[in-house]
């Protein structure tokens, strides 16, 4: 079923353009980047040149002034490019970090941090997770204390997407002694500030991405690095994380569909017992069931996107999607590997890359366990 919200000619033309971009600049190289663990840094500038960054942000800050559905189309098309690690990097930049900067930033932060990020000249990272607190976001121990007219930042952030490549880090910290108040809040910190060390973490998947550990030791920054006001900016962060979950669900559904489509093509050509595998009843039933689950996930995601774009409250539904869309995708990927026989077990097979990536689907952006905890409290308390 076509998405009833995306049938207009402007959306179709936009999808065609992005599809072409992905076919030209990502698909032919993705497998090589994957195998050489290469972060395709240059793509950000290419995308920016085409006007594909900051799609839904206003033109006044360097965005494209389009609606949320353009972000949806973008997420679907780039997810099909085969470089999922990099896709995560882009979505963190465009659908969380840039958004927070736009909503909370001063004019100066818009000019010096947001604008270059939207121009493709700078990467952004969002440092929330800590070894000490992990899933318990509000338990962050990083501190930013005002001393001698400056903030002194101390702490450690782990598993941070874009951690080593970012030019600016948006960091969750306990703000202390600031005239705007104390409490959990955000800072936007130039990544080359003295006192910051960053190391790439060797992850099992997302080989085209960048995941890092970041240490802050006696890191002194100007008070103007505060992003929004403590407590209020923490609430804005929770809101931005919901949008990240929604747009990631869009991308993950696209991955599920692509994996299934390519598996169907494989089953049509693989001859066993005198006919293509796709003719076997048990295989047909498995494929049919997977197709039903992917379609249900996608249509539900579109419905939530529609409500979200209209400003309706969809927090509960987004948490539901964070569980169902991502777990559906993991199931689809696992089943499709089985349907490929030993070929799908080869380390260099494209499905193995997706399989390794998919292990992070139910961890990054909030684990399935935490999402169930959150959903239960939304529904039952
Ligand atoms: C690829 C990738 C990219 C990431 N990018 C970023 C990023 O850009 N910025 C950032 O800040 N973080 C990022 N993260 C970190 C991610 O948000 C955390 O990994 C996640 O929130 C879980 O924290 P943790 O790994 O410390 O797990 P833990 O909190 O240690 O949890 C371990 C296990 O226990 C379960 N658990 C924890 N608490 C409970 C509970 N109360 N009840 C039941 N089960 C529980 C968890 O679900 C999990 O299965 C990224 C992670 C990955 C894998």
Q: Determine the pLDDT at residue 241.
A: 98
Ligand 1 centroid–CA 58 distance in Å is 32
Quote the crossing angle between the two packed helices 232-269 and 68-79, to the nearest 10°.
40
**Ligand 1 within 6 A of 370 CB?**
yes
Query: Can you list the residues of the chain whose pLDDT is less than 50?
Result: none
For residue 128, the ligand 1 atom closest to its alpha carbon is 11
Nearest to 353 by CA among 248, 209, 205: 205
Q: Determine the pLDDT at residue 255.
A: 98
Q: Determine the pLDDT at residue 192.
A: 98
Atom 39, ligand 1: which residue's CA is nearest? 370
Q: Determine the pLDDT at residue 240.
A: 97
Integer-rounded Cα radius of gyration of the chain:
21
Q: Determine the pLDDT at residue 4.
A: 79
Ligand 1 centroid–CA 367 distance in Å is 6
**Ligand 1 within 6 A of 377 CB?**
no
Tokens of 258: 């692509």
Q: Give strand ranges (E) for the chain.
A: 124-127, 143-147, 150-161, 168-178, 181-190, 196-200, 211-222, 226-227, 271-272, 275-276
> Model pTM?
0.97
**Ligand 1 within 6 A of 190 CB?**
no
What span, in angstroms and rounded, lies between the C-alpha atoms of 263 and 287?
9
**Ligand 1 within 6 A of 366 CB?**
yes
Q: For the chain, what percent of residues have pLDDT higher than 70?
A: 100
Q: pLDDT tens for residues 157-188?
A: 999 999 999 999 999 999 998 888 889 999 99
DSSP collapsed to 3 states, 290-328: HHHHHHHHHHHHHHHHHHHHCCCCCHHHHHHHHHHHHHH
**Ligand 1 within 6 A of 126 CB?**
yes
What span, in angstroms and rounded, lies between the C-alpha atoms of 296 and 324?
10
Q: Determine the pLDDT at residue 179.
A: 86
């Amino acid at each position: 079923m076509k998405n009833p919200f995306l049938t207009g000619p402007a959306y179709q033309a936009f999808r065609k353009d992005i599809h072409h971009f992905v076919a030209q600049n990502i698909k032919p190289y993705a497998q090589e980047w994957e195998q050489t663990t290469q972060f395709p840094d240059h793509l950000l500038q290419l995308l920016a040149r085409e006007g594909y960054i900051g799609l839904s942000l206003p033109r006044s800050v360097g965005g494209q002034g389009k609606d949320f559905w353009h972000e949806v189309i973008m997420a679907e098309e780039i997810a099909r490019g085969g470089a999922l690690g990099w896709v995560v990097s882009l979505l963190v930049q465009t659908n969380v970090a840039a958004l927070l900067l736009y909503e909370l930033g001063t004019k100066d932060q818009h000019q010096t941090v947001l604008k270059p990020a939207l121009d493709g000249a700078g990467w952004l990272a969002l440092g929330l997770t800590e070894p000490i607190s992990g899933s318990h976001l509000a338990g962050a121990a990083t501190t930013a204390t005002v001393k001698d007219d400056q903030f002194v930042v101390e702490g450690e952030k782990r598993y941070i997407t874009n951690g080593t490549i970012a030019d600016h880090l948006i960091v969750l910290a306990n703000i202390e002694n600031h005239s705007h108040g104390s409490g959990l809040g955000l800072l936007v910190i130039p990544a080359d500030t003295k006192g910051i060390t960053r190391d790439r973490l060797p992850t099992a998947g997302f080989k085209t991405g960048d995941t890092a550990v970041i240490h802050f030791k006696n890191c002194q920054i100007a008070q103007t690095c505060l992003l929004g006001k403590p407590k209020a900016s923490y609430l804005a962060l929770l809101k931005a994380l919901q949008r990240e979950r929604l747009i990631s669900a869009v991308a993950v559904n696209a991955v599920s569909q692509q994996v299934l489509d390519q598996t169907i093509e494989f089953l049509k050509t693989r001859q066993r017992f005198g006919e293509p595998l796709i003719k076997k009843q048990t295989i047909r039933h498995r494929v049919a069931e997977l197709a039903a689950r992917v379609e249900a996930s996608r249509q539900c995601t579109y419905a939530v996107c529609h409500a979200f774009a209209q400003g309706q409250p969809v927090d509960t539904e987004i948490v539901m999607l964070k569980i169902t869309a991502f777990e559906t995708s993991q199931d689809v990927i696992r089943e499709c590997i089985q349907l490929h026989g030993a070929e799908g077990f080869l380390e260099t097979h494209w499905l193995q890359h997706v399989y390794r990536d998919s292990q992070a689907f139910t961890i990054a952006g909030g684990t399935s366990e935490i999402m169930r905890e959150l959903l239960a409290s939304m529904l039952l308390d």
